[in-house]
């Protein structure tokens, strides 16, 4: 990354896997800057739409009961992921950013078919 994209900044929310001290050490050793993001922020990342897609794809015939089978299914699904689907997820990000700006950046925005939800107080 340092050679091909030297200005890269990694954005992470407060998920436990992102906060682990070993991961922090890896980024520090490689001198890769991180932008810490609040945990309840809207997911404006192309990979987030991938998780439900992969879950549906890997459990069509029922959820695997053996870890090795789950790993095999997820790896195959990842390898078979159509490029046009990945591109569609990337191209939707500007729309979602505009929607988040429209609601003032708070947590009233939810991605998906019902893009906007109003939180009743």
| For residues 97-106, average pLDDT | 79
Domain boundaries of the chain, sorted by first residue: 1-41, 46-102
Report pTM: 0.58
Tell which residue, 118, 84, 120, has the closest CA to residue 103.
118
| For residues 60-67, average pLDDT | 94
Which pLDDT value is given to residue 64? 93
- Rounded CA separation 94/25 (Å): 32
What does each C-alpha distance from 92 to 88, 98, 99 come to in angstroms? Answer: 6, 10, 11
């Amino acid at each position: 990354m340092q050679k091909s994209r030297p200005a890269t900044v990694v954005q992470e929310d407060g998920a436990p896997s992102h906060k682990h001290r070993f991961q922090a050490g890896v980024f520090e050793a490689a001198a890769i800057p991180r932008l810490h993001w609040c945990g309840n922020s809207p997911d404006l990342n192309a990979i987030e739409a991938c998780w439900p897609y992969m879950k549906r794809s890997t459990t069509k015939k029922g959820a695997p009961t053996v870890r090795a089978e789950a790993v095999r299914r997820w790896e195959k699904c990842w390898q078979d992921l159509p490029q046009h689907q990945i591109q569609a997820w990337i191209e939707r990000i500007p729309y979602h950013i505009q929607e988040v700006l429209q609601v003032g950046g708070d947590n009233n925005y939810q991605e998906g078919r019902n893009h906007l939800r109003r939180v009743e107080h």
